[in-house]
Amino acid sequence: MPDLHVVFGAGPVGLALVDELAARGEAVRLVSRKPVAGLPAGVVHAAGDASSSVFAQVAAAGATTVYQCLSPPYSRWADLFPPLQRAVTTAAREAGARYVSFENVYMYGDTHGAPITEDLPVRPTTRKGAVRAEMADELAQLAATGDIEVATARASDYFGPRATFQSPLGDEVIGRALAGRSARILGDPDQPHSFTFLGDAARVMATLGTGDRATGGIWHVPNAPARTQREIVSLIGDVLGREIDATPTPRWLLRLLGLFVPAVRELDEMRYEFTRPFVVDGSKFTSTFGIEATPLEDAIRATIAWWQARK
């Protein structure tokens, strides 16, 4: 029988991974609460609640690799995320499958501008970082038992097709630019920031889930060289053929909106990422597997093309 790759989560990350695996000719099963339109030919869908350990095990049955791309709303991370991970890791273990986890880099905390590498200590400085640290520790303990092989792909703030409200470069930057408005950005527009292109994240996860050399461990997704948000907005303007203003969102406005919108309230503690250099180093993966980040200009063009096609 061919290898079966089971992807939990139909957000921008999970769907990018499904596209990548299908393009490689792999057998793919996507697991999410609701049906998903426009899946690649041959991809099977299983609808249900992955927080149910019973359902998760049924959905993962027969898997060679299980990919965890689920993410609850920011405001519910503490109570929903750890048990969700446990349900999916249990499903992977019962299936005898490799487990590939998609994560961000919140668990490292504020490095005060120092590059973020895989060997940094885990020192969270935010509530969401503490949740990530707890979950990462659980995965490390699980891998140490030898009962399951665990590989982790960690990404910076991401952008790409399908990433709208989830991305700092989504609705508030590319979406507004396409509407002829100024781009709204977080923090200091002139600090360098690593952004992860979803296509690159998908390639990393697919490699960790299929390659014989990928035998677990933590890997940062390679990113194009860090650029300032102002420079990125300028690149977007170049693609669209017009100048776009980069307007920082005042902190007081974020806090005011946060009184009414839980998702916005959760952004405030992450502002440190955007007030000093935030550089995520993915050179370990590139040197091991020979896969480099997509050039930023190409990634922006692909992202804008998706936005334009959806209108």
Domain boundaries, the chain: 4-160+197-223+280-294
Residue range 4-160+197-223+280-294 in CATH 3.40.50.720:
yes
H or E element that contains 234:
helix 229-240
Contact 226, 160 (CB under 8 A): no
Cα-trace Rg, the chain: 19
Q: Provide the residue-wise pLDDT of the chain in tens; the chain has 311 residues.
A: 689 999 999 999 999 999 999 999 999 999 999 999 999 999 999 999 999 999 999 999 999 999 999 999 999 999 999 999 999 999 999 999 999 999 999 999 999 999 999 999 999 999 999 999 999 999 999 999 999 999 999 999 999 999 999 999 999 999 999 999 999 999 999 999 999 999 999 999 999 999 777 778 999 999 999 999 999 999 999 999 999 999 998 888 888 887 888 878 888 999 999 999 999 999 999 999 999 999 999 999 999 999 999 86
| This model's pTM is above 0.95 | yes
Residues 6+ apart with CB under 8 A from 95: 6, 57, 60, 61, 62, 63, 66
How far apart, in whole angstroms, are the C-alpha atoms of residue 205 and residue 221? 9
Residue 151 backbone dihedrals phi, psi, to 5 degrees: -125, 140
What residues have CB less than 8 Å from 250, skipping those under 6 apart?
none
